[in-house]
């Protein structure tokens, strides 16, 4: 059997290309529900204080928000960057809790 493909390399190339194209078509037909979540769900809160410098935004806006949000249930990590706008990103474990937590945290901050 191997001599057949050694003597006729074009047949081997055509068969391998058919397998690659068939695999690509089948990958596109897979339902998305079978793929796992790669990145954890995130909530991004951006705090702005018009006319203030970065230190003032950090002390008067970002730090109080961070103190209120810190320690939320099932939070994996939190990242905050200080500047004229202070984005605060929180990552959580599951998507359903993410939507519920987003509404609770927006009520908690206001």
Structural domain of 6:
2-34
Q: Is the separation of the CB atoms in 109 and 65 below 8 Å? A: yes
Query: What residues have CB less than 8 Å from 21, skipping those under 6 apart?
Result: none
Same domain, 26 and 59: no
pLDDT digits over 29-43, tens only?
877 766 666 677 778
d(CA 110, CA 105): 9
Same domain, 11 and 63: no
Cut 0.85: pTM above it: no
Same domain, 48 and 96: yes
Tell which wins on pLDDT, 110 or 103: 103
- The tally of domains found in the chain comes to 2
pLDDT digits over 54-93, tens only?
888 888 888 888 788 777 777 777 877 777 777 888 887 7
**Residue 53 three-state SS:** coil
Same domain, 25 and 57: no
Same domain, 51 and 26: no
Same domain, 16 and 50: no
Strand order in the sheet with 75-80: 42-48, 85-92, 75-80
DSSP assignment of 5-46, as one string? HHH-HHHHHHHHHHHHHHHHHHHHHS-GGGSPP-S--EEEEE
Same domain, 102 and 48: yes
Same domain, 51 and 103: yes
Same domain, 6 and 50: no
Cβ neighbours around 12 below 10 Å, total: 14
């Amino acid at each position: 059997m191997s001599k057949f493909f050694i003597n006729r390399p074009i047949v081997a190339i055509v068969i391998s290309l058919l397998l690659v194209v068939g695999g690509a078509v089948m990958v596109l037909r897979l339902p998305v529900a079978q793929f796992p979540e790669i990145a954890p769900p995130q909530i991004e809160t951006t705090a702005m204080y018009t006319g203030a410098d970065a230190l003032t935004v950090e002390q008067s806006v970002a730090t109080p928000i961070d103190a209120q949000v810190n320690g939320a249930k099932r939070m994996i990590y939190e990242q905050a960057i200080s500047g004229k706008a202070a984005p605060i990103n929180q990552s959580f474990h599951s998507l359903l809790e993410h939507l519920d937590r987003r509404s609770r945290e927006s009520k908690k901050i206001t």
